[in-house]
Structure 1
Amino acid sequence: MDRRLQQAAESGSISDLYALIDENPCILENIDAMPFVNTPLHIAAACGKIAFSVEMLNLKPSFAKKLNTNGCSPLHLAVEKDQQELVTWLLRIDPSLAGVKGREGITLFHLLVLRGNVDLVVECLVTSPECIRDVSVTGQNALHLAVMNERFEVLQVLTGWIQRMKCRMVQRNEVNGDGLTFLDILRTHGQIDEGGELEQAALKTGCMEAASLPKLMKKTYDFFKLPITFWAYCSTHTRRISSDTSDEARGVFLIICTLLITATYQTSLQPPGGVTQSEGHAVMKQTFFIVLWLSNTIGFCCALFYTYSLLPARGLLTLWFFYIGASLCVSYALAMAVISPQPLVFLTACFALYLLFPLYVLMEVFLRQWRRHQTVAPDPKLSWFWKV
């Protein structure tokens, strides 16, 4: 690197930087061409020159993720030099910098955990929540590193954040290179857990010991050799609907499904021909009503199913829609039963239709558990008809 550029970075002089660029427009490109190098951003970050670092980040964003010969990014150096304000500035400009991996796979977030910098750990979690997924080359995640280096306050922050955010991004029971989970390490280093509060918080988040983790009973190739059951077929089909649909098509289909749900539900409230004034039953003949009830119910259920399949997210959003859809199905069944010629019969038929699929799933689970205790093979399968 040009000595004058190094001095400009150390002093934070932006005018000197542009004077050098005017003299040699390729001065930054030549540095960027080297795979491992101390860039001007490394020097400015270590010296805490915020304005110069931001200017350099605008000119060459790639410098922020480039490692020097010691395997450190600019923000790694800034953390080691306690340049907290500069780290905060750059993280807010580019939150993805929290996940830049340096030597031994240690990210900026990992380094903050190791140094016990609670403020910046929270800043990373707020601006870039996905950084908690990262692991080092030895399989250590942020929880492992915090407990092994006795960062009790950081551990409290991490476990509290996981509990409050219902975080599904972090693998709570991830096994490190030594075959230990976070809970194993916590109990080994029990002296930092004052009163056992942290262990109780870890247990509430679902943390387990490595010995308690479920073991894989079958090899992967054995799983793929098994025939596809009806349940597996439905599950695969549902995932394909969600994954193979573009965002634009998903929006259009969701609108169509919403209109179908509205139209079919409205039919249950106001059937063709209306209802009698005295008893409130549909005026149409019973045969026509059966055809209407059957076709309308199938359309209503299919629209709900495809809406569920098209939801782009999984987890809490899907769970909420499941409860809302179940409540809507109950109200639909009651509405159709009230206007039907035989309310009790049609109400029973509606709930029987709703229960067919859950009953099938329960039967599959029961037979699967029963077959595990049998020694004679092969056993008859409930889903033999659905093999593909």
Structure 2
Amino acid sequence: MMNLKPSFARKLDKSGCSPLHLAVEKNNTDFVSTMLGLDHGLVSVKGKNGITPFLALVSKGNVDLVVECLRRYPECIQDVSVKGQNALHLAVTNDRFEVLQVLTGWIQRKVQRNSIETRILNKKDLSCDTALHLAAYKKDLKAVQLLLECRLVKRNKVNGDGLTTLDILRAAGGMCLDLEHNLVKSGCKEAASMPKSKKRSDFLKSPLTFWTYCSTVMTRLRSNISNESRGVFLIVCTLIITATYQTALQPPGGVHQSNDENAGSVVMNQTFFILVFVTNTIGFSCALFYTFCLLPPQSLFTLIWFSWIGTSLCVSYALSMAVISPHPMVFLSATMAFFLLFPLFLLWEFFFKRWHKTHRKVRVVSEQTEPRFSCFDCCVILCCFDCCYNTITASYP
């Protein structure tokens, strides 16, 4: 029948059960294993009250078949009933401690494209209770300790009754002082001592701050670009980073040899080196900054990872330019200043001006135009920089 009409295996009878539901109910493990081999997705067919065969196996405590379901169809861990309860809730409710051990161990070891560890471990049902709350209500101290050992379990979540796990255990009684001390030591708190979380409406009614505006604009820029365009721009930025970093390692004209008094420094004229240094550092900084902006907005780990790599690359670039420069300490300081001032300049030029323009108050008395950062200002800043540089380098022999 499965070969001729595979959809029959997903049909429900009058009682809301599929063939796999009935096999689980009758403890026919051989039939369940055979059906899983033919169609992995059958374990997530919703029956009466939203119970899937996988959730039914969890409730019955069949550890071997639970493991087989997780191995063949990992997405079944996200199944929930009409009450909003997932496999962890049902394992705690039905006193299936061994199944709970298997589920928590699998969730913490499973590597998927999108991490589901936090979402599954802290899932709330329709009563706003997590699996940890249910274990505390049942005074199942073994289940409480097992869940608290999970790295991403939020132990101070407040349920629908306004209670945390520690409040529930204290109200239930029968908790020894050692266990209470260990819970407090592990970070469990009372609901009264927890800071009150702001409502979403309060957040939306609050005035828009500058940093919130920057974050919103950056997220929009990342989200509006297509994956094809992002890939092309990232390749271009990578080539620019490679070319500019190679200039720091192998400057035009080479460096003085070891038998020279200026061994290791560039051969080119100092004026030309300053021009190469400024333009190359600007290109390197822009490429790194644009690469950071083009990273996907959903990948927070990738952004943190790139920040560490980008910082290390900037330090390496600054040291490389300082080694080949005529005055190492001066150029090292100038390079680091470039890396610090360039993002601040972009924040000022792109974000702050737009934010100030959209949030400034209407001036009724005077209609003066907003001061602009003109070319004359740029020339004055460059002249000041040149004077400061000449003053510093004048002290070197």
TM-score (norm: length of structure 2): 0.70
Q: Deviations over 1:264-320 (max 9, x none)?
A: 122112221222343233233333323222221122222222333444564555434
Q: Which residue does 1:11 correspond to in 2? A: none
The answer to whether the 8 Å contact 1:32/1:63 transfers is no
Are residues 1:134 and 2:116 paired?
no
Give per-residue Cα distances to partners, 1:20-58, cap 9 Å, x unaligned. x79xx6696496267971111111112332331233345
After TM superposition, give the deviation of residue 98 of structure 1 in Å. Answer: 1.9
Q: Which amino acid aligns with 2:104?
A: V
Partner of 1:259: 239
Equivalent residue for 1:94, pick from 73, 81, 106: 73
**What residue in structure 1 maps to residue 338 of structure 2?**
353
1:38 aligns with 2:21: no
1:239 and 2:219 correspond: yes
- 1:50-85 deviation per Cα after TM superposition (whole angstroms, max 9, x unaligned): 331233345566653344435532233323333222
Which residue does the alignment assign to 2:276? 292
Determine whether 1:105 maps to 2:105.
Answer: no
Distance 1:34 1:288 in 2: 84
Partner Cα separation in structure 1 for residue 273 and residue 215 of structure 2: 33
Q: Which amino acid aligns with 1:287?
A: T
Cα distance, 1:137 vs structure 2: 0.7
Match of 1:149 in 2: 138
Cα contact 1:41–1:63 (8 A) shared by 2 = yes
- Matches of 1:36 and 1:254, distance apart in 2: 56
Amino acid at match of 2:273: F
Question: Matches of residues 119-198 of structure 1 in structure 2 within 5 Å?
Answer: 119-125=101-107, 126-127=109-110, 129=117, 130-162=119-151, 167=152, 173-185=156-168, 188=171, 191=175, 194=179, 196-198=181-183
Structure 1: segments with no counterpart, 5+ residues: 1-17, 364-381
> Does structure 2 retain, via aligned residues, the 8 Å contact 1:333–1:351?
yes
% identical equivalent positions: 40
Whole-Å Cα distance in 2 between the matches of residues 343 and 251 of structure 1? Answer: 37
Q: Corresponding residue for 2:318?
A: 333
Q: 2:390 corresponds to which residue?
A: none
Is it true that 1:271 corresponds to 2:255 in the alignment? no
1:80 to 45, 48, 59: 59
Report the alpha carbon displacement of residue 158 of structure 1 after superposing the two structures with TM. Answer: 2.7
Kindly state the Cα deviation for residue 151 of structure 1 after the two structures are TM-superposed.
Answer: 3.0
Residue in structure 2 matched with residue 222 of structure 1 by the alignment: 205
2:224 and 2:13 map into 1 onto residues whose CA distance is 40
Instruction: Tell me the TM-score normalised to structure 1 length.
Output: 0.71
Aligned length: 337
- Tell me the residue number matched to 1:372: none
Relative distance call for 1:262 and 1:27 in structure 2 (3 A) is closer
2:278 is aligned with what amino acid?
L
CA pair 352-386 structure 1, distance change in 2 beyond 3 A: farther
Distance 1:186 1:320 in 2: 40
2:194 aligns to what? 212
**2-side partners of 1:45 and 1:32: how far apart?**
16
Task: Give the Cα separation in 2 of the matches to 1:74 and 1:177.
Answer: 29
Mapped partners of 1:35, 1:341: distance in 2: 87
CA distance in 2, matches of 1:283, 1:333: 19
Write out per-residue CA displacement over residues 166-223 of structure 1, whole angstroms, 9 at most, x where no aligned residue.
Answer: x4xx5554432122344544555571662622332345xxx78464235439724434
1:307 aligns with 2:291: yes
